[in-house]
Amino acid sequence: MSSSKLMDFGLTWIIMMMILLQGCRSCIESERQGLLEIKAYIISVITDPHLDIRRGWMSSDRSCCHWRRIKCDITSKRVIGISLSLESIRPPDPLPQLNLTFFYPFEELQSLNLSSGYFKGWFDERKGLYIRFRFCSCIQVP
């Protein structure tokens, strides 16, 4: 093989690998947007500037599967776990409620960690549902 063909082959291989790796890092766009809505809500009720969700969930970053507190299925790139445990943050008074409609985009969500006791309950504005927590824990979705 001539050096020109070898360089073309090498360049093609590198480009293909970069495309494949970008695909591995990205996540489903509707889920990325859903996470950014959760981030906006959390920031609206928390003023702590050191919150890793504020710093780590960036709208310019398409790879939400690599964000802190997020777990994705390797094959489908779907979000399967979200941790909203905020132990290091002093909760506001009054405690906020969590809107369940934030979680509608996550079709394969298997776990949602709310173990900090930070939220007083949740509601679903689409279905008119309200649940008050007695204590928060990690919720496993069947």
More confident residue, 140 or 113: 113
Segment 22-35 shows an average pLDDT of 78
Cα dist from 113 to 50, 54, 84, whole Å: 20, 18, 6
Strand 121-124 relative to strand 138-140, pairing: unpaired
> What whole-number percentage of the chain has pLDDT above 90?
23
Q: How far, rounded to the nearest angstrom, does the alpha carbon of residue 5 sit from its chain's CA centroid?
A: 43
Residue type, 16: M
pLDDT at residue 118, as a whole number: 72
Q: Compute φ and ψ for 50, nearest 5 degrees.
A: -95, 10
pLDDT score for 96:
79
The per-residue pLDDT of the chain, averaged, comes to 75
pLDDT at 135: 46
* pLDDT for the residue 31: 95
Check if the beta carbon of residue 42 is closer than 8 Å to that of residue 102.
no
Residue 72 to residue 58: CA distance in whole angstroms: 17
